[in-house]
Amino acid sequence: MALRERGRDKPARARLAEPGAVAGAGPDLRARIAASGIPVSDLHAA
């Protein structure tokens, strides 16, 4: 579904899959950042 952004429409994004493919959980944001080589620090609530 397209979203409305200040003064312009933001188009919807989709990714095609092979017929019969099953959607599964992908890596979370922390894992994606760590895989890029950028150092990641885990901070805990005080």
What pTM was estimated for this model as a whole? 0.44
Q: Coil, helix or strand for 30?
A: helix
Instruction: Give burial (CB, 10 Å; 0-12/13-18/19+) of 7.
Output: exposed
Q: What is the pLDDT of residue 2?
A: 61
With bands split at pLDDT 50, 70 and 90, how would you rate the model's confidence at 1?
low
More confident residue, 6 or 43: 43
Q: What is the pLDDT of residues 23-35, one digit of tens each?
A: 888 889 999 999 9
